[in-house]
Amino acid sequence: MTIRHMCLDVRGAIKNFSKRQLTGMFRRPDGTRLTAEEAKDHLLDHLAEGHEVIPMGPCNNFDYVKGCQGHATEADADGASP
């Protein structure tokens, strides 16, 4: 079995999220939340860097165009079938 982490479509979030949904979506290093406008700017920065999707949490196998590339479970590593 392969685990895949969730990701956010950057362009979709910019187009479809309300100010209420954007408010607090991201945090600064000090823990304070970004305003809706700051969050939108952050998403626009991702687009400018060529990032079509961004991870919704930690992922060490992430592609900013395709998303999580998958993580093998212990069963996969042992060669066992689900």
Q: Tokens 């991201």 — which residue?
A: 26
Q: Give the model's confidence band at 81: pLDDT under 50 very low, under 70 low, under 90 confident, else very high.
A: very low
pLDDT of res. 1 = 85
Q: Using the predicted structure, report yes or no on whether residue 40 has a pLDDT greater than 60.
A: yes
Query: How buried is 25 (Cβ within 10 angstroms: 0-12 exposed, 13-18 middle, 19+ buried)?
Result: middle
Higher pLDDT, 42 or 79: 42
How far from 2 is each of 37, 55, 70, CA to CA, in Å?
Answer: 36, 17, 6
Q: Percent of the chain, pLDDT > 70?
A: 90
Q: How many CB atoms lie within 10 A of CB 41?
A: 11
pTM of the model: 0.81
Q: Looking at residues 44-66, what average pLDDT do you find? A: 96
**Cα–Cα dist 81/78, whole Å:** 9
